[in-house]
């Protein structure tokens, strides 16, 4: 949950000191109040690429997103911890690098 009118993303296990190589879940709300959540991979620095565009799979099982009257974006995403997708990282190891961004 963040205060924004745009998008929010959470990423797992990027390369050191960069977002490159991260498994990213990206969600956004459009002005017509519809939402989109994408299973992505950071090929490089910048906008992450949807897994399906790279030959992977969209492994988001379920999501919900809402924009409150205070411009707070509230998102819930469900994904398996282990997907066997080349562009997803296993979630839940002892130590894991986590990053987030929003705008």
Q: What are the pLDDT digits (tens) for 39-59?
A: 999 999 999 999 999 999 999
Q: What's the pTM value of the predicted model, to 2 decimals?
A: 0.89
Please name the residues in contact with 49: beta carbons below 8 A apart, sequence gap of 6 or more: 40, 41, 42, 43
pLDDT at 94 over 90: no
Give the integer Cα–Cα distance in Å for 57 and 20: 19
Q: In this predicted structure, what is the pLDDT of residue 74? A: 83
CA distances from 19 to 45, 71, 85 (A): 6, 26, 19
Q: In what order do the strands lie in the sheet with 60-67?
A: 2-3, 72-79, 60-67
21: alpha, beta or left? (left if phi > 0; alpha if psi -120 to 50): left
């Amino acid at each position: 949950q963040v205060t924004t009118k745009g998008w929010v993303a959470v990423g797992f296990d990027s390369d050191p000191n960069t977002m490159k190589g991260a498994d990213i879940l990206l969600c956004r709300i459009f002005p017509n109040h519809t939402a989109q959540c994408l299973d992505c991979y950071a090929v490089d620095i910048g906008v992450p690429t949807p897994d399906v565009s790279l030959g992977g799979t969209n492994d988001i099982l379920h999501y919900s997103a809402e924009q409150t009257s205070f411009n707070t974006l509230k998102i819930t995403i469900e994904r398996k911890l282990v997907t066997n997708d080349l562009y997803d990282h296993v979630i839940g190891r002892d130590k894991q690098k986590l990053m987030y961004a929003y705008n």
